[in-house]
Structure 1
């Protein structure tokens, strides 16, 4: 395991437990469309590829959709979610202390997420996470999303780091393949939103508790 000169994090399911607010917005959308609600584990299984995919999967699971319905549902979801992004969302226990320790060690920190940039930054502001990060990079319309390596490589470049000297920390198969596609070392937070096994990831590259993350910085 490298001693990283920079660390970049996924957001949802890695630093913050945001699924309850995403779940609430998804069910508000489905209810407005006359569809059945989905449970929290189902919504968690839809998280990782951006809100567009979350909405599409929610519609697929409750009767399907066409392009017009997708657009309507996405607008409804975003309107609901943007009003309640941090009603139930909180940092994972120990995450802020870990970030403070990394920052205190002089390690540049960034976020690379498939959440749209605006909401990602607003959530970080509301949860007092923003001061830890030099870069908060979210998804933008028309640009590649994870697991394409471009967002992560761009974030690394913005931090003035090198891929081989940067650690990417995430919670999902999307994050794992993003790191692999970018040839960046990876660490998995196992208490996030992992929805498929990663049998080829060594146990040494996994952690379940931010208080015992095992990431060395000196």
Structure 2
């Protein structure tokens, strides 16, 4: 029998990273001569990778050009790579949940649209790396979610099977990724989702990692 596998999204699912992304976005926008954007705006920009986050921030504050995008993205990354965990932390209950899942023998990984190097560095800095056999982030040689390939590649790296895997995320991008990969999905509603998703029952949604029974429920779903 294949291994029990749970794959998680990162931003807005395991960690509250929006404050650091917000700070980086405003540093980059100021360098481009633009006004700041709010934290709520940045949260609405999260989910499709930092390139799209920067594009959305630029379009929210004025005209967009490819040249402006390149310079602003470079400024964003230069600041963010030095400040990935200044304001970022795991959500309450995440570490305890991961500990219980690991103790139950569940194999875990991360599949995120965050660039791979910062994703791995953040997990290491926050003490989360020890839980994951694979951390798959955005790379130039790999399609991005909601394309199913990043999730399927993560599952293969964990020696898992999609039919015995659960994907846990917080956004429409994560939901579509799971659908495209034919992998069961659970939604963390305490993250960065900005509108309800269709076709999700209450048993597919949870709002806190601190729910004492949630860890045990997860182990029964894969």
Q: Could you give the per-residue CA deviations for residues 137-192 of structure 1, whole angstroms, max 9, x where no partner exists?
A: 00101420000000000101111111011000000000000000000000000000
Provide the C-alpha distance between the structure 2 equivalents of 1:91 and 1:216, rounded to a whole number of angstroms: 19
Query: Per the alignment, in what secondary structure is the counterpart of residue 21 of structure 1?
Result: helix
Structure 1 residues without counterparts, runs of 5 or longer? none
Tell me, yes or no, if structure 1 residue 216 matches structure 2 residue 215.
no
Query: Per the alignment, in what secondary structure is the counterpart of residue 174 of structure 1?
Result: helix
Query: Per the alignment, in what secondary structure is the counterpart of residue 8 of structure 1?
Result: strand
Structure 2 residues without counterparts, runs of 5 or longer? none
Provide the C-alpha distance between the structure 2 equivalents of 1:216 and 1:120, rounded to a whole number of angstroms: 24
Structure 1 length normalisation: TM-score?
0.96
Structure 2 length normalisation: TM-score?
0.94
Aligned to 1:65: 64
Aligned to 1:126: 125
Aligned to 1:75: 74
Q: Moved runs in structure 1, 4+ residues, more than 2 A?
A: 213-216
Provide the C-alpha distance between the structure 1 equivalents of 2:4 and 2:28, rounded to a whole number of angstroms: 42
**In the TM superposition, what is the alpha-carbon distance from 1:199 to its structure 2 partner?**
2.6
Worse-superposed segment, 7-16 or 60-69? 60-69
Provide the C-alpha distance between the structure 1 equivalents of 2:129 and 2:75, rounded to a whole number of angstroms: 27
Provide the C-alpha distance between the structure 2 equivalents of 1:146 and 1:154, rounded to a whole number of angstroms: 12
Provide the C-alpha distance between the structure 1 equivalents of 2:141 and 2:107, rounded to a whole number of angstroms: 28
Provide the C-alpha distance between the structure 2 equivalents of 1:102 and 1:123, rounded to a whole number of angstroms: 21
Provide the C-alpha distance between the structure 2 equivalents of 1:211 and 1:28, rounded to a whole number of angstroms: 34
**In the TM superposition, what is the alpha-carbon distance from 1:26 to its structure 2 partner?**
0.2
Provide the C-alpha distance between the structure 2 equivalents of 1:142 and 1:41, rounded to a whole number of angstroms: 31
Number of residues of Structure 1 aligned to a counterpart in Structure 2: 215
Give me the CA root mean square deviation: 1.1
Aligned to 1:91: 90
Query: Per the alignment, in what secondary structure is the counterpart of residue 210 of structure 2?
Result: helix
Aligned to 2:168: 169
8 Å contact from structure 2 (residues 32, 68) kept in 1: no
**In the TM superposition, what is the alpha-carbon distance from 1:98 to its structure 2 partner?**
0.3
Provide the C-alpha distance between the structure 2 equivalents of 1:53 and 1:195, rounded to a whole number of angstroms: 16
Query: Per the alignment, in what secondary structure is the counterpart of residue 148 of structure 1?
Result: coil
Provide the C-alpha distance between the structure 1 equivalents of 2:199 and 2:63, rounded to a whole number of angstroms: 34
Aligned residue runs from structure 1 range 105-184, under 5 A: 105-184=104-183
Q: Could you give the per-residue CA deviations for residues 109-140 of structure 1, whole angstroms, max 9, x where no partner exists?
A: 00000001100000001000000000000010
